[in-house]
Amino acid sequence: MRSGGYFAKLISTNDGRRTNAAHNYLYQRGHCTSASSSKIRITTRRTVVRVLLNDEHASGLEVCDTSDPAQREKITARRMVLVCGGALGTPIILERSGIGDREILDSLGIPVVADLPGVGREYQDHQVYPFPSALLP
Ligand SMILES: Cc1cc2nc3c(=O)[nH]c(=O)nc-3n(C[C@H](O)[C@H](O)[C@H](O)COP(=O)(O)OP(=O)(O)OC[C@H]3O[C@@H](n4cnc5c(N)ncnc54)[C@H](O)[C@@H]3O)c2cc1C
Closest approach atom of ligand 1 to CA 7: 8
Instruction: List, in order, residues 6 or more apart from 33 with CB less than 8 Å away.
Output: 27
Residues with CB under 6 A from ligand 1: 7, 47-48, 84-86, 89, 93
The domain spans of the chain are: 1-39, 43-122
Report, as an integer, the average pLDDT of 108-118. Answer: 96
Written as one letter, the residue type at 19 is T
User: 115 CA distance to ligand 1 centroid (A)?
Assistant: 26
Whats the size of the chain, residue-wise?
A: 137
Cα 135 to ligand 1 centre (Å)? 32
Helix ranges (DSSP H) in the chain: 21, 86-96, 102-108
Burial class (CB in 10 A: 0-12, 13-18, 19+), 83: middle
**Model confidence at 59: pLDDT above 80:** yes
Give CA–CA dist 67/102, Å, rounded: 30
Q: Supply the CATH classification number for the domain 43-122.
A: 3.50.50.60
Ligand 1: nearest atom to the Cα of 47: 42
pLDDT, mean over the chain = 87
pTM: 0.82
Percent of the chain with pLDDT over 70: 86
The CA 10 to ligand 1 mean position distance, Å, reads: 15
